[in-house]
Amino acid sequence: MTRLLLRGGRVVDPAARRDGIADLLVENGRLSRIGERLDAASADVVDASGKLVFPGFIDLHVHLREPGFEYKESILSGAQAAAAGGFSAVCAMANTDPVNDHRTVTRWIADRAREAGFSRVYPIGAITKGMRGEELSEFGEMKEAGAVAVSDDGRWVANGSVMRRALEYATLFDLPVATHAEDESLSGRGAMNEGRVSTRLGLSAQPAEAESIAVARDLTLCELAGGRLHVCHVSTARSVALIREAKARGVRVTCEVTPHHLFLTDEEVARSGFSTATKVNPPLRGERDVAALHEALLDGTIDALATDHAPHHADEKAVDYESAPFGLVGLETAASLFHDRLVRTGRVPVARMVELFSGGPARAFSLPGGGLVEGKDADFTVFDPAAEVEVDPRAFRSRARNTPFAGARLTGAVAATYVAGREVYRRP
């Protein structure tokens, strides 16, 4: 029997209403006991004094690029980056090549993830075949192969009839339908947020309404068809207001927010000198939208913090702003950014951070984890709230470096990540 004793950390687990100094005893990969001064006989002892101990973080929204785009990221490098960011589990979007719209691809991703080790990887199947928005994929077969949700992320299912059938069909398998809410007839895939800054910079732009109108339609369809709707990377004040109202009516909707939409505005495009690392979709919004996201973070409207980790090769981003692909990497910076800017400053309680990084995501997609439960897999994250770090993309485990936070000095860092009691990351 293998035994690990994590000694004397501050264990914060809102699901169990636990916040205090305790030991964690792990036996054969499972959390055996949580308590004070546990017996350390024959156990490997790890001193966690001064550290925070959380249920393992779960990211509902990452792009691991494999199969098809391994030059950007692989399942192995993505899982390593996830572990370094404190995520014991991530959900991989379907926009690979081939698209994950068939059980064969789903099973291949799940198998590759198991071979890689490091963080758990849960595949997300495509809503429609080829993500073309026309014909539904076989949800049941993909779930049987390991899919935990369906999404055409990167594309909105513009055909309302198809989206309605997707929500109805998904209820048969209790799968959440995750929507990339963007009406492209309005957005035109503009390079940045439409407003004063885009006018000043002369860049193509997409209005906030391109998102909120799509959110309104999908909420309406969810209310009509039933099912579980998850709104990806919500970014506008109107969107969060619509989701808040829908939740109050009993609509089964959850949503996520990204660190970059919480901590950057569209002014960052100018401030950074048109750095293509700031080009994301949905785009960085204005101050009013950012303020609304912070309010929704606190009042419980937002269920999860997700990174929308979107790696690109340096050559792809080394072009003019209009031509560059959308996306930035976030797995290895999310926890430090959130802690430094919201928890350390007293704006968000540490327990709420745990909810957004662990409990909320687990509930949204009905995933294992989200709490520290005796007898269950020992997935947990050890966080050092006093560590001083500087974001250095050269040190990323990810193959990509496209982050707008390079050089940021932050307080708080992931110290270690454990999956089934096995240490998959330790901060050097």
- Catalytic positions: 308
CB atoms < 10 A from the CB of 328, how many?
28
Task: Tell me the C-alpha distance between 284 and 102, whole Å.
Answer: 33
Strands 150-151 and 422-426: unpaired
Residue 417 vs residues 55, 103, 123: alpha-carbon distances, Å: 10, 30, 21
Q: Are 216 and 239 in contact (CB under 8 A)?
A: no
Task: Tell me the C-alpha distance between 157 and 152, whole Å.
Answer: 7
Task: Tell me the C-alpha distance between 167 and 190, whole Å.
Answer: 29
Computed on alpha carbons and rounded to an integer, the radius of gyration of the chain in Å comes to 21
Q: Are 426 and 413 in contact (CB under 8 A)?
A: no
Task: Tell me the C-alpha distance between 215 and 116, whole Å.
Answer: 36
